[in-house]
Structure 1
């Protein structure tokens, strides 16, 4: 194996009540709901036999709780990195999709059309700024662990940026891939960038599939 290559597993946090309500969380600190806690435990069980060297996570509770469930079987401490936080959405935070469409139609249009320079008022990040933050953070972490396997636990927006980076998709390209809660996503990193290995593995979340030696 290339000594400069780092294997990455990227995991979105488990479900929250605000996910169910289609409410923008951004930098607001919303914890997991009961389903999300179950999903986090299942992800931890699914990755228990992986040779994980380190687990990094957004410091927001929903990602942190998920990361702890993954790190615990390995006896690892979760390492916080604010660069793995969700995109800052300014005044969108706390609003549902429907509320944004109804009360802020022009801003909703720019958001829906993925305008890369659009910054929601009140401290929101543009997609350009967010992409640069996430890719810089993930690359910096990966560069610390050549030849190792590292887990990054973060948010839907972060997963989207990483997928686009690994598949060379433009920021404005329509999304055709899943960003499921607690899905397991695999990538490789070298100094030349990211590449995709597998995306949106949710076999561990099937309620009728016990996690044992026959579960891949």
Structure 2
């Protein structure tokens, strides 16, 4: 089995990120800072070289980030809708504070990270986990020995980090997920490995974490 490497990148910043508003699968575009972050990620990756393929969530904030990266790498993004953000249902469009007040019961279960709790109008953590990891494993199988860039969302990266490290879905998060941060994982004879996480040296200071 040949090792497949992945650089998993969260999309650049959006206006809703700065407002701490739950985007889910609503199609929110990048703000000016997000556009700059995406270009910076592309420049950094182009200097490293060795990227074979580029995949992205088809939501515009991720797709636009991938277009900037692809322009620097000379690669056309390929859509991977399985890497879309979690469907947050009734929470989408609300800030975290608004969701807590407007839907206190469901939000408490969401905040407790109950794996099988289906957000009304949305999906459960386990459903989300399964669609993301199924696609990730498929890509590892299809691209043995190659290096891929995947552009995605904060929630998707949360799932991937836990999956690679073998951590449960319901434990508190112990890692950051900054906008346009670079996160390297690989799959080879020894299984899944986390190589590095949350690299932001290519960005100006202040990249926002998914929950902060």
Normalising by structure 1, report the TM-score: 0.91
Conserved? CA contact 2:45–2:73, under 8 Å: no
Please, which runs of 5 or more residues in structure 1 have no aligned partner? Answer: 208-216
Partner of residue 145, structure 1: 143
Distance 1:32 1:202 in 2: 18
Hey, what does 2:208 align to over in structure 1? Answer: none
Query: How is 1:46-65 mapped onto 2 (pairs within 5 angstroms)?
Result: 46-49=44-47, 50-65=49-64
* Number of residue pairs the alignment of both structures matches: 204
Partner of 1:18: 16
In structure 1, the partner of 2:42 is 44
SS at match of 1:91: helix
CA distance in 2, matches of 1:144, 1:169: 25
Query: Equivalences for 1:105-144 in 2 at 5 Å?
Result: 105-122=104-121, 124-144=122-142
Asked if structure 2 preserves the Cα contact closer than 8 Å seen for 1:21 and 1:96, the reply is yes
Q: How far off its partner does 1:38 sit?
A: 0.6
Give distance in 1, aligned partners of 2:16 and 2:61.
11
Pick closer, same or farther for the CA change 1:126–1:192 going to 2, 3 Å: farther
User: What SS is found at the alignment partner of 2:167?
Assistant: coil
Q: Deviations over 1:86-109 (max 9, x none)?
A: 001111111111111111111110
Shift of 1:40: 0.3
Single out whichever of 35-44 and 198-207 deviates more from structure 2.
Answer: 198-207
Structure-2 residue corresponding to 1:198: 196
Bigger mean CA deviation after superposition, 3-12 or 35-44: 3-12
Cα distance per residue 1:159-188 (max 9 Å; x no partner): 011110111111011101001000000000
Tell me if the contact between 2:13 and 2:30 (Cα under 8 Å) persists in the aligned partners: yes
What is the match of residue 209 of structure 2?
A: none
Correspondence for 1:87: 86
Deviations 1:3-41, CA, capped at 9 Å, x for gaps: 521011000000000111111111110000011001001
8 Å CA contact retained: 1:183, 1:200: yes
Contact 1:100/1:108 (CA < 8 Å) preserved in 2?
yes
In the aligned structure 2, how far is the partner of 1:15 from the partner of 1:58? Answer: 15
CA distance 1:20–1:101, shift in 2 (3 Å): same
* CA contact 1:142–1:150 (8 Å) conserved in 2: no
Say what the alpha-carbon RMSD is for the aligned residues.
1.2
Q: Does the alignment pair 1:163 with 2:161?
A: yes
Counterpart contact for 1:43–1:70, Cα < 8 Å = yes
Distance 1:24 1:191, change over 3 A: farther
